[in-house]
A and B are shown apart, each in its own frame.
Chain A
Amino acid sequence: MPSKQISLRFIKRAVEELDRVLDEFDSSDPEYDEGLLKTAFTALINEGLITGKGKAKDLGLDDLMYEMFGEFPPEDLLERAQTFDNLIDTYVGEPSEDDIEEAKGHLERILDGLRKKVDSLEKRKLREEGLWRNA
């Protein structure tokens, strides 16, 4: 299977949306935090960036990693995303404020990782444009 073309625009928009989630994050209200994540997914669906619309109602942060990076997202980001999803999951029991704070920490690290990815993709793009001009 050919690997997915990583979209710089998609990652940049995801960073903006997840940044907004982080700004509004409320460690005392896990249901609200789940809702905030859905608003981020909504924006990305409405812009045509998330295309697995049929599965959208079950989307988690780990699914977003697959949407952005294809079959093999960076392992550290995927693991943090899965941990985040499990920590804020309200099905088995009420997550404690500590769980939610820990989830917030993972989201911050995910954002750091995505920003680094944006930087490296932008540098690569500039290098490639430079090479093309020189050629």
Chain B
Amino acid sequence: MSCRLKDAGLDLEMLLSGASQIVVFGSFAAGLNVPLSDLDVVCIGNGTRLKNRFLDLCWVSDENVCKYEWLGSELAGHVAKYGVWLNGPDDWRGATFTSNAAIERKRRRILSLARTVSRLWERLHPIFRAQYDVTIRRELQRLKMLEAGISIPPTRVLDETWDTEGCSGLLQFRDSIAKLRLYAGQSNAPDILRRAS
């Protein structure tokens, strides 16, 4: 971790001074990292968000960490289940849950992504269209899990599930959302939305 922090111009001691807890999550914490994986870290305390190719570091204040909004969020649920505490007590770990707000937010995000891609399709490079194909498929997988009260696993697990289990379950779930059925069969829609059931 300290190598990744150094690459990003930070050092572990500096982080320790501002954070009461440091938690690694995502692919590194699950031991699923590949050479190009970024390191996901959430710190409890006050600091500056940092995101680059090597590191994605976010902060939750000491005040907010015990609030309903954080404890019910998708990220808190993921960190509580898959996170590795490098420093500080994991005192909120058992208090997370999936809030209706987290589910609603995910639903809104998917609808907004679908609308965006559809509107901008002709102006998007194929590499971005392909990126949206993956993003929307993963977000649908996450929404399905959130609705079932399951903590979201690392992204690589989502991809492996998709590869092994196929798409029929997810297409069925997609069809349960009326506003997404509008995109079925449309050429300017991301793959998972334009596929026939």
Contacts and interface: CB of A to CB of B under 8 A. Distances in A.
A45 B125 contact: yes
B51 A89 contact: yes
Interface string B100-144: 000001001100110111011001110110110000000000000
Interface size class for chain A?
A: 20 to 34
Nearest to B101: A94
A55 to B, nearest CB: 8
Interface residues of B, number: 26
A106 to B, nearest CB: 14
A46 B125 contact: yes
Contact of A31 (B112, B124, B127, B130): B112
Contact of A58 (B53, B109, B120): B53
B120 A38 contact: yes
B170 to A, nearest CB: 20
A14 to B, nearest CB: 16
A53 interface: yes
B128 A57 contact: yes
Nearest to A33: B116
Identify whether the interface residues of B are mostly helix, strand, loop, or mixed: helix
Nearest to B69: A93
Contacts of B131: 57
Nearest to A44: B125
B75 interface: yes
B16 interface: no
A42 B116 contact: no
Interface in A45-88: 45-46, 53, 55-58, 62, 85-86
B96 interface: no
B73 interface: yes
Contacts of B123: 39, 42-43
Interface of A: 29-32, 34-36, 38-39, 41-43, 45-46, 53, 55-58, 62, 85-86, 89-94
In the A-B complex, the 8 residue pairs with the smallest Cβ-Cβ separation, listed nearest first, are A35-B116, A42-B125, A39-B123, A31-B112, A57-B131, A38-B128, A32-B116, A92-B58
Interface of B: 49-53, 56, 58, 73, 75, 105, 108-109, 112-113, 115-117, 119-120, 123-125, 127-128, 130-131
30 contacts: A29-B116, A30-B112, A31-B112, A31-B113, A31-B116, A32-B116, A32-B119, A35-B119, A35-B120, A38-B124, A39-B123, A41-B128, A42-B125, A45-B127, A53-B127, A56-B127, A56-B128, A57-B127, A57-B130, A57-B131, A62-B52, A86-B49, A86-B50, A89-B49, A90-B109, A91-B56, A92-B49, A92-B75, A93-B75, A94-B105
